[in-house]
Amino acid sequence: MSTFEVVVRETDSSEETEEFGVEFSKEIRIGDNIILKGELGSGKTTFVKGVVKGLGITVNITSPSFTIINLYKSESRTTNHEIVVAHIDLYRIEKKDLSGLGIDEFFLKDYITLIEYGDKLDKEIIESYKFRTISFEHLGGDGRRIKLE
């Protein structure tokens, strides 16, 4: 699990939010589990677009609100091993229904897992798999405050 310090960044456009995701991608490693927390439209999926782009994965990124899980794959830039990003969105899932999804298989060392609305997960799961949290906040207009915890 990589470590990173608490960072707060304010962005003024979706392009800046995506670019911050590209920067952040340099700090994460296979096995990292990250919760993306914030209200609808606060920049979570845009940030994921940047992370995936920064990892060298060239696919169209969309929110998995209806599919629940999107997997993005690419060869690592440095090790020639496959990188698999599990992009999970729990927006439409009730907390009581989480145990039946089987998403915990993505919290293992073989993936980089980014979970929108991951704060719905039980605290024990978050602690057990050492999730980090990134919070997104609207600042009005296209402004966002992003906090890496």
Separation of alpha carbons 100 and 106, rounded Å:
14
- Whole-model pTM: value is 0.87
- pLDDT tens digits along 111-144: 999 999 998 988 888 888 889 999 999 999 999 9
148 CB burial (10 A radius; 0-12, 13-18, 19+): middle
pLDDT at 3 over 60: no
Which amino acid is residue 88, in one-letter code?
A: I
Query: What token pair was written down for 42?
Result: 């606060």
- pLDDT tens digits along 42-78: 999 999 999 999 998 988 888 888 888 999 998 655 5
Separation of alpha carbons 103 and 70, rounded Å:
12
